């Protein structure tokens, strides 16, 4: 239907009336899923808490030096790792709330990275099971703790491939296999680099 403004001359022939161009829908106008909103808020809160933890970490770094080195973690690497995680957490929360493509990538990377970190922690616990037996909490506690985190983060990662979530981020045409390969490859590279640094600093 042709829309005529009040300024148009009613006596003009229909051919002289030019239809008004319709606006193209903006990208990223899909409704934000409730799950994405909740996760975005949790990410922002978690990132702020991680930044706060930096001050406690710096205050106790001297006392933790010997215990950290005994398990092959240089104190400086721990500080860098926590700072990296804090920035990643806040950035992914902001990106999720805004519904940007980079927000999807950062959030998906955060969950894959968390799966790798907790999986690596499980391997460390298995290797140090004898030492943990004498502590207040046995190795079973830490296995359940980190194993549970692996499951939770895996489920959250899979959630980001749901149709309505991909639509909100404008990622409907995403190749899932390619995305998973990229994210896993980045995590492997990061863990390999940190492991190499730990061995060199030992």
Residue 196 belongs to domain spanning: 40-201
Contacts of 106 (CB under 8 A, 6+ apart): 88, 91, 92, 95
- Residue pLDDT, tens place only, 154-193: 999 999 999 999 999 999 999 999 999 999 999 999 988 8
Q: Look at residue 167 and tell me if it is in a domain.
A: yes
- Residue pLDDT, tens place only, 104-147: 999 999 999 999 999 988 887 877 776 666 666 777 888 899 89
Q: Say how many domains are in the chain.
A: 1
Contacts of 6 (CB under 8 A, 6+ apart): none
Q: Look at residue 22 and tell me if it is in a domain.
A: no
Q: Look at residue 159 and tell me if it is in a domain.
A: yes
Give pTM, 2 decimals.
0.77
Q: Look at residue 34 and tell me if it is in a domain.
A: no
Q: Look at residue 24 and tell me if it is in a domain.
A: no
Q: Is 28 exposed, middle or buried (0-12, 13-18, 19+ CB in 10 A)?
A: middle
């Amino acid at each position: 239907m042709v829309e005529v403004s009040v300024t148009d001359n009613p006596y003009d022939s229909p051919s002289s009336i030019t239809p008004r161009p319709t606006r193209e829908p903006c990208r990223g106008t899909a409704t934000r899923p409730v799950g994405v909103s909740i996760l975005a808020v949790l990410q922002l809160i978690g990132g702020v808490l991680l930044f706060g933890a930096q001050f406690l970490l710096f205050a106790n770094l001297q006392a933790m030096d010997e215990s950290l080195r005994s398990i092959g973690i240089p104190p400086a690497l721990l500080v860098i790792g926590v700072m990296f995680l804090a920035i990643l957490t806040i950035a992914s929360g902001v990106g999720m709330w805004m519904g940007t493509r980079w927000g999807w990538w950062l959030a998906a990377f955060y969950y894959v990275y968390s799966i790798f970190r907790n999986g690596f922690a499980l391997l460390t616990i298995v290797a140090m099971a004898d030492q943990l037996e004498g502590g207040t909490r046995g190795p079973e506690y830490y296995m359940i703790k980190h194993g549970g985190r692996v499951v939770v983060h895996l489920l959250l990662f899979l959630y980001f491939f749901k149709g309505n979530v991909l639509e909100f981020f404008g990622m409907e045409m995403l190749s899932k296999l390619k995305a998973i390969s990229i994210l896993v490859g980045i995590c492997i590279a990061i863990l390999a680099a940190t492991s190499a640094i730990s061995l060199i600093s030992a």
